[in-house]
Structure 1
Amino acid sequence: MRIRKVLNNNVVVSYNELNQQVIVMGKGLAFHKKEGDEIDTSKIRKTFVLQTKGISDKIAKVLMGTSEIYLNIAAQFYEYAQSKLSYKLDEYLYIALTDHISFAVSRYKKGVELKNPLAWEIRKYYKLEYQLALKCLEVIEKKTDVRLGDDEAATIALHLVNSQLSGENMKTAFRITEIVDTIISIVKYHFKIELDEESVNYERFLTHLRFFAIRLIRNEKPEENADLFFYEQIKANYTESYDCTAKIATYLKNNLNWDLSKDEEIYLTVHINRVTDRQKNEKS
């Protein structure tokens, strides 16, 4: 295995036996070494494979201003989170987490603690990602002796959520969370009930809302192919849920300039009916 690029004294880019680009880490691995030199395999402590073109260049830029210990933490957490999540994480997460963790630890040592304004919503809507992020805090503490606050776990969880969006910026993840939270609030206020957050129907509703919010932010308009008879049946049979959907449509139009398609109205109405039906019966 030969060095293709030196990132710093302890990190290099190379290619494995399958001709896959890899980041190789080890103390003094590249000391007095240059491109083309053989890698001393006895010094290798960490190797991870990169599939995305150009990622190593971005990692190199990040490592110019930070220690590779944070890349090591990010890589360890990436592998752990990927083993627990059903969706594929984007490799840009290596860069985003390395940069974020380095900055967070630096801020902590200076006595600066930033609050995440969406921490409560993130814990609520992205439970698995948040629990995984708490594990990341444990890894950070083990590697750096710094215990970051739980608000940092919320931000790391958002990085995981954002990784579904193929490298789009963190602002996107915040917007998704805000849209989901607003729609949930409209449903709760419309029916004047609390929703059962442990129910399967609630989880299905959240999943639908997340993907809907992603499409909205990307401006991915669905083709209008609703069955008009079915649409009218839904309106007639789920009147209260449809009225709630109408309120959501008003919010989306006035605040996000998004016109709900009839298909989206159908899906929202059905999900709202499912997620509120049990609570409505208990209230009665």
Structure 2
Amino acid sequence: MKIVRVLNTNAVVSTDRQGKEIIITGAGIGFKKKKGEELDKSLVEKIYCLQSEEDNHRLQQVVREISEKYLETAGKVVVSARNAGLKVRDTLYVTLTDHINSAVERYQNGISLKNMMRHEIRKFYPQEYRIGCQAIEWIEKKTGIDLGEDEAGFIAMHIVSSEFETSEVSDVQKITELINAIIKIVKMHFKIDFDEDSVSYQRFLTHLKFFSARVMDGEVYKDSMEEIYRAMVVQNSRAYTGVEKVAQFIEKQYGYRLSIDEELYLLIHIKRILDEQQE
């Protein structure tokens, strides 16, 4: 296995059997090495193979300009997220390595950022937040620095961002604000308290997460289920009043008109929650 380029003392680029570039890390693996030289396989600790060539090159740039120090932690986050069933993109390797490095530098300079969305992040994205807390433990084990729960929330936001077609954490904040608004509308309209541990509520949250992302993107979901929609509206008129409230709010605030299919899915989730309230 030959070295394609040296990123730093502890990271190099090589190629796999298909000729695709891979990033290899290990203590001293790039020390005094040059392009074309054989790789010392005994020094290999981790291999990173990203599907996207663009993401691969961006990660190489991050490792070259910053460090590979937190790439391992970012890799653990990616693996944990995928094991939890979250469909995170390889972009997370890049954004999270960069973010963790910046967070540690801020801490060392006595700068602490308050995460104003932490409560909502923990509430609406419990899996992502749990993994964020794990990452904080991994970072502390590596550096002796406890970045705290606010930073766990920021890491969770990066995970959520990588699940969508956006790499902007600010978009996650907008999506979260919309989820919060919809939850409040349904809660106040029906005068109910959610059982946040129930399957129906968790399914509702998952739906709202991707629905809110579509609203932010202006992407209308269509699946031509008009007949089912009309039957469901007639059979579930009370639940539909909640759908109308949400639809009116979104059109007024975001200029986004819900399609029949989107109203139908909202109706199904709200109906399930109302049914649970009556049990």
- Is 1:44 the equivalent of 2:53? no
In the alignment, the residues of structure 2 paired with residue 145 and residue 151 of structure 1 have an alpha-carbon distance, to the nearest angstrom, of 17
Helix, strand or coil at the partner of 1:54: helix
Equivalences for 1:12-91 in 2 at 5 Å?
12-82=12-82, 84-91=83-90
Structure 1 residue matching 2:49: 3-state secondary structure: strand
Q: Secondary structure at the match of 2:14?
A: strand
User: Given the two structures, how large is their TM-score scaled by the length of structure 2?
Assistant: 0.92
Q: Determine if contact 1:88/1:164 at 8 Å carries over to the other structure.
A: yes
Letter in 2 for 1:137: I
**What runs of 5+ residues in structure 2 fail to find an aligned partner?**
none
Tell me the alpha carbon deviations over residues 65-97 of structure 1, each in whole angstroms, 9 at most, x when there is no partner: 423211222123322332x22133211111111
CA distance in 1, matches of 2:166, 2:43: 32
Residues 247-256 or 64-73, more deviating:
64-73
Take 2:89 and 2:99, find their aligned partners in 1: how far apart are those partners? 16
* Cα separation, partners in 2 of 1:60 and 1:244, compared to 1, 3 Å: same
Stretch deviating more after TM superposition (177-186 or 65-74): 65-74
User: Structure 1: how far apart are the matches of 2:60 and 2:273?
Assistant: 47
- Structure 1: unaligned runs, 5 residues or longer: none
Contact map agreement 1:105 1:148 (CA 8 A) in 2? yes
Residue 259 in structure 1 maps to residue 257 in structure 2: yes
For 1:234, which of 223, 232, 235 is the aligned residue? 232
The equivalent residue for 1:6 is: 6
Q: How many residue pairs are counted as aligned between the two chains? A: 279
**Separation (CA, whole Å) in 2 of partners of 1:203 and 1:179:** 16
Provide, for residues 141-166 of structure 1, a one-character-per-residue CA deviation record: whole Å limited to 9, x for no partner.
Answer: 01111011101111111211111124
Question: How far off is 1:240 after superposition?
Answer: 2.4
Q: Is contact 1:137–1:147 with CA below 8 Å preserved after alignment?
A: yes
Query: What's the CA shift for 1:239?
Result: 2.3
Q: Secondary structure at the match of 1:175?
A: helix
Equivalent-residue separation in structure 2 for 1:94 and 1:224 (angstroms): 34
Conserved 8 A contact 1:29-1:40: yes
CA distance in 2, matches of 1:50, 1:237: 49
Name the counterpart of 2:272: 274
Residue in 1 that maps onto 2:241 = 243
Structure 2 counterpart of 1:71, one-letter code: L
* 1:88–1:262 CA distance, 2 compared to 1 (3 A): closer
How far apart, in 2, do the equivalents of 1:16 and 1:262 lie? 48
Cα deviation, residue 200, structure 1: 1.0
Residue identity opposite 1:129 in structure 2: E
- Which amino acid is 2:242 matched to? C
Hey, what does 1:188 align to over in structure 2?
187
Contact 2:96 / 2:155 at 8 angstroms: preserved in 1?
A: yes
Residue 35 of structure 1 aligns to a residue in which SS? coil
Q: Deviations over 1:155-207 (max 9, x none)?
A: 11121111112453212222221211111111011111110111111111112
CA contact (8 A) 1:224 1:261 kept: no
- For residues 91 and 250 of structure 2, the distance between their equivalents in structure 1, rounded to whole angstroms, comes to 30
The Cα of 1:18 is off from its aligned counterpart by 4.7
Alignment match, 1:169 = 168
Q: Cα–Cα, structure 1 residues 166 and 212, in superposed 2: closer, same or farther, change >3 Å? A: closer
Per mean C-alpha deviation after superposition, the further-off stretch among 97-106 and 158-167 is 158-167
Calculate the aligned-residue CA RMSD, in Å.
1.9
CA shift for structure 1 position 234: 2.8
| 8 Å contact from structure 1 (residues 130, 153) kept in 2 | yes
Moved over 3 A (4+): 17-20, 230-233
Residues 252, 259 of structure 1: 8 Å contact kept: yes
Identity %: 40
Distance (Å, rounded) in 1 between the aligned partners of 2:252 and 2:202: 27
